Structure 1
Amino acid sequence: MAKRIILLRAVNVGKAQLPMARLREIAEDLGATDVSTYIASGNLIADVPGNAAEFDRSLEKAIEKEFGFFRESISRTPAEIEKALEAHPFPVDEPKYSYVTFLLEKPTADAIKKAETYETGADRWKVIGTEMHIKYANGAGRPEMKDASIGRALKVPGTARNLNTVKKLIDLADG
């Protein structure tokens, strides 16, 4: 068993409703232990059996089977999440305006180059390994950049969490 922070993309928005109590039960049904969630946006902390990527794919399938929608499951160890937080390349004036998007895999250099052609205004982003770091000038609710277009150009699914949430997930995993 290995401790993982599992992040689900785009749950509890629109019709993709996933109760966190049921998410915990599904994870336990798949063999996870010491399972907890943080806020209702698809943040799961658990000790998972076997190969982490296989667990993530099993979780995706179980959610799709029960709820009828597919959502990517992207997980990291607490140490990997902490390393991503430490690598954040932008000054943090307001943690809720700064994000880490955890990507399923590392985008290609060509995909990053294409994404760099999009106008960002005062917003900034940078890919470091398997994470895309973002700093919104005026918050994620009022972006100047087209982050969805940039994400599509990268050709890699991901899920973003603001730095407050990232820090809290690390604390919960360590505690």
Structure 2
Amino acid sequence: MTHVFLVRAVNVGGTAKLPMAELRALAAELGATEVQTYIASGNLIATPPGDPLAFARDLEDQVEARFGFHREVIVRDSAALRAARDAHPFVIADPAFSYLVPLTSPPADSTAAAEVPSGADQWALIGDNLHVRFANGAGRAELDLTRLLRALGVAGTARNLRTVDALLGLLG
């Protein structure tokens, strides 16, 4: 079954350079088939050779070994990604302002996150996904997503709903 593997925080801000051609080649070397990427921000679509979570851990290990940095790889199948997209609790005036942040796991305790200022931005935790709507776009955010994730105690990687919709289209 084809899954999306989301590599956290690559090719942003001049750090953690991971060329998508090399990510595709790495996935194929690890036995994945139907390998493709979408834009240069760590979106890998592939059919893993076995357990998707084990494949994600193998990708993490190989990225660190070959590129010298550790980045979490979060995996979702089509049904899980669709369910997360459908659960987005905010009005979507512009899909570029609304984000899905798949998390490595559901947070054990989210009480500290309530203390993170968000201004006009909104966020909601639903299972192992964080949903965010930036009132004025991510570039002018009042909510510090990094601080929020730290308060939740889990890693996650943000994709705007335009990207999520494209990934769903690629997953079929």
User: For 1:89, what is the secondary structure of its paired residue?
Assistant: coil
Give unpaired runs (5+ residues) of structure 2.
Answer: none
Where do residues 8-157 of structure 1 align in structure 2 (5 Å cutoff)? 8-13=7-12, 14-108=14-108, 110=109, 112-157=110-155
The correspondence for 2:156, drawn from 152, 155, 158, is 158
Residue 104 of structure 1: CA displacement?
A: 0.4
**Counterpart residue identity of residue 128, structure 2:** T
Task: Give the equivalent residue in structure 2 for 1:170.
Answer: 168
Task: Give the equivalent residue in structure 2 for 1:4.
Answer: 3
Residue 15 of structure 1: CA displacement?
A: 2.5
Residue 43 of structure 1: CA displacement?
A: 0.3
In structure 2, C-alpha distance between the alignment counterparts of 1:145 and 1:103, rounded to whole Å = 17
In structure 2, C-alpha distance between the alignment counterparts of 1:25 and 1:44, rounded to whole Å = 11
CA displacement, residues 103-158 of structure 1 (integer Å, 9 cap, x when unaligned): 000002x3x11101121110000010000000000000111112211110111110
Detail structure 1 runs of 4+ shifted over 6 Å in the superposition.
Answer: none
Give unpaired runs (5+ residues) of structure 1.
Answer: none
**Counterpart residue identity of residue 49, structure 1:** P
When normalised by structure 1's length, the TM-score is 0.96
**Counterpart residue identity of residue 111, structure 2:** K
User: For 2:53, what is the secondary structure of its paired residue?
Assistant: helix
Q: How many equivalent pairs are there?
A: 171
Root mean square deviation, CA, Å = 0.7
